[in-house]
A and B are shown apart, each in its own frame.
Chain A
Amino acid sequence: MELIQQLVNGISLGSIYALIALGYTMVYGIVKLINFAHGDVFMVGSFVGFYAITVMDLSFIPALLISMATCAIFGVLIERIAYKPLRNATRIAALITAIGVSLLIENGLIYIRGAQPEAYPNNVLPMDKLDIFGVSISSQSILILSVSIILMIILQFVVHKTKIGKAMRAVSFDSEAAKLMGINVNNTISATFAIGSALAGAAGVIFGIYYIKIEPLMGVLPGLKAFVAAVLGGIGIIPGAMVGGLLLGVIEALVSAAGYSLWRDGVAFVVLILILIFLPQGLFGKNKREKV
């Protein structure tokens, strides 16, 4: 029973990773950039949610929506200011810029409000224990899981059924050809950043409710692990990010359950290095041959 409980924890954590990983994978798919600042967008989302709940006295859903909207705007701003001038620069230049943006957001926030952590109030969501087949599961985990799943379904709908989703898929397939077909590539890239950042904002609020403590540097590790999740599922592939996130969460929970909780943070990186060596295209990716 202990094991099943750990599995449920793992799936809750994994759904947070999955939400962050979606932003990574979408941005990578479209501009081939590892957006290091994505973990910090997640952190900003968490803080926006915190202030919405404590200062503005909102309940869960409005706080989630406010956080998502703020993060969407924030993500687009980052893209327009920092990444757009580098659209045609080398990959390394873009990567260094992304690291710079990440450090700037973290330290900017520390500069503004200090490094002290905040605690989410614990009455945002009801805290009942449900007994399902002898396993007690907190209602929070179920709500969190269902919110994540709903967001992922909405994302699938947006990507596959709407005009902007079609444009996104076209640009990620071949941005030059998409431009020739009359697709506004710049707006499409901005939309990708907006959607990815909104999902990260939602993940931030969910993380705050689930783990209570938030601080300006909290985005770094989940951000990196979400990237691992995106690579695990095959970077650029949306269902891959979901599966990768959930899988990584479960792996971490199982490692904790096996009594190696101090090693938990290392496992993600071991998974990363193994997957890069043995299956670099990820679980869902297709192997591409290199051409000169």
Chain B
Amino acid sequence: MTTLKNSKGFWLSIVLALIFFGIMQYTISNGILNPFYINTLMFIGINIMLATSLHLIIGITGQFSIGHAGFLAVGAYASAVMTMKLELPFIIAVLTGGVIAAVAGMVIGIPSLRLKGDYLAIATLGFGEIVRIVLLNIEYVGGASGMQVSHLTTWPWVFACVMITVLVIRNFTNSTHGRACISVREDETAADAMGINTTYYKVAAFVIGAFFAGIAGSLYAHNFYIIQPSNFGFLKSFDILIFVVLGGLGSLSGSVLAAILLTIVTTFLQDYPETRMIIYSLVLILMMIFRPQGLMGTKEITSLFTHKKTKGGPKDGSHNTVA
């Protein structure tokens, strides 16, 4: 019975998303929506992909990674090389971006097996910086001055990629593998003792997260006309991190909501970058002091409608132990 209910909600949300897509597509193709809003919409889509892919690594598997911009950069550059240098079609470029980023995810995932918590965070931060510096020193992709990329990202592309990302990550989380990842987050030693191959799942989370970050990178590159290594510094990683933290470590819908909300805030504060960063940092600090589980905790938005009974139940945060 519950599965039927769940799948009903699932199909309902897909239909709603498709209707939303149709309306947007109609307004865009008829020129009702001005380019500024179209661009914001694209950014929201790309940021949702980044947020959900990082959510898989931090929120589900509990591996604190702050080098996500590195995967974004790998995907962006790999796809840009495909379209601009090798003149291959966009779809191949997008897939290559994802695959190469996934390989990078494996490269950083394997050493991560030996590291935990703070050390892993610093190692991933270092990885992000290494990617940036390597790109800065490769003349083939333009070095510091960056690379010209033609505008190929369109709204149907962004929508399709966002849908696929969210669906894959949602289904992965609810599968056996996802539950194994959650057990790694809750207690790695215990998970190991229960016969879960923690190494395998940690690397898997990194690879899948990096794959979708790479696809987001492909869309990002082809939406922007130019990509430069300086676009992918650790500030970009922190931007992605704050989506996940604000949304709630462990909540998929939370990170999607936070990505939408913060992208809109960012767009309106575009001319005041310091103000934006001050707000961001205050949000981070106050959030950690007063509501460390984030806006949604580990709950999903659908559970707000279905499980009204739990409202008066255990206090928030009592069973949310992330990392």
Contact = CB atoms under 8 A, between A and B. Distances in A.
Interface of A: 32, 34, 82, 85-86, 89-97, 99-104, 106-108, 110-111, 115, 220, 224, 227-228, 231, 262-263, 265-266, 268-270, 272-273, 276-277, 280, 290, 292
Interface residues of B, number: 42
Contact of B114 (A108, A263, A276): A276
B134 A90 contact: no
B289 A108 contact: no
A111 to B, nearest CB: 4
Contacts of A280: 114-115, 119
Contacts of A110: 274
A76 to B, nearest CB: 17
Interface stretch (B25-33, B41-49, B120-128, B204-212): B120-128
Interface of B: 64, 66, 111, 114-115, 117-119, 121-123, 125-127, 129-130, 133-134, 136-137, 189, 234, 238, 241, 245, 249, 274-275, 277-278, 280-285, 288-289, 292, 321-323
B125 A266 contact: no
A100 B122 contact: no
B277 A107 contact: yes
Contacts of A103: 238, 277, 280-281, 284
A86 B288 contact: yes
27 contacts: A34-B121, A34-B122, A82-B285, A89-B292, A90-B321, A90-B323, A91-B117, A93-B288, A95-B64, A99-B284, A100-B282, A100-B285, A104-B281, A104-B282, A231-B122, A263-B133, A265-B133, A269-B133, A272-B126, A273-B126, A273-B130, A276-B114, A276-B115, A276-B122, A277-B111, A280-B114, A280-B119
A157 B280 CA distance: 41
B149 to A, nearest CB: 23
B136 A262 contact: yes
A141 to B, nearest CB: 27
- Sorted from nearest, which 5 A-B pairs have the closest CB atoms? A100-B284, A269-B126, A103-B281, A266-B133, A104-B281
A106 B238 CA distance: 14
B122 A92 contact: no
Nearest to B272: A111
A32 B234 CA distance: 23
A189 B280 CA distance: 27
Contacts of B323: 90-92
B111 A276 contact: yes
Nearest to A216: B274
Given A82-B285, A100-B282, A272-B122, 8 more contacts: A89-B292, A92-B117, A92-B249, A99-B66, A103-B277, A266-B130, A273-B130, A280-B114
A280 B112 CA distance: 12
Nearest to B234: A220
B123 A276 contact: yes
A92 B294 CA distance: 13
Contact of B129 (A93, A94, A96, A266): A266
Which of A227, A276, A290 has its CB near the most chain B CB atoms (within 10 A)?
Answer: A276
A92 B125 CA distance: 14
Nearest to B292: A93
Contacts of A276: 111, 114-115, 119, 122-123
A111 B64 contact: no
B137 A262 contact: yes
A270 B130 contact: yes
Contacts of B115: 276, 280
A224 to B, nearest CB: 7
A43 to B, nearest CB: 15
Contacts of B282: 100, 104
Contacts of A227: 122
Contact of B118 (A91, A224, A269): A91
A111 B275 contact: yes
A101 B288 CA distance: 11
Contact of B284 (A96, A108, A273): A96
Contact of B134 (A86, A220, A266): A266
A71 to B, nearest CB: 20
Contacts of B274: 107, 110-111, 115
A96 B285 CA distance: 7
A222 to B, nearest CB: 13
A81 to B, nearest CB: 9
B193 to A, nearest CB: 8
Contact of A100 (B66, B114, B281, B322): B281
Nearest to B66: A99
Contacts of B118: 32, 34, 91, 95
Given A97-B288, A227-B122, A108 B133 contact: no
A203 to B, nearest CB: 20
Contacts of B125: 224
Contacts of B321: 90
A278 to B, nearest CB: 9
Contact of A107 (B126, B130, B281): B281
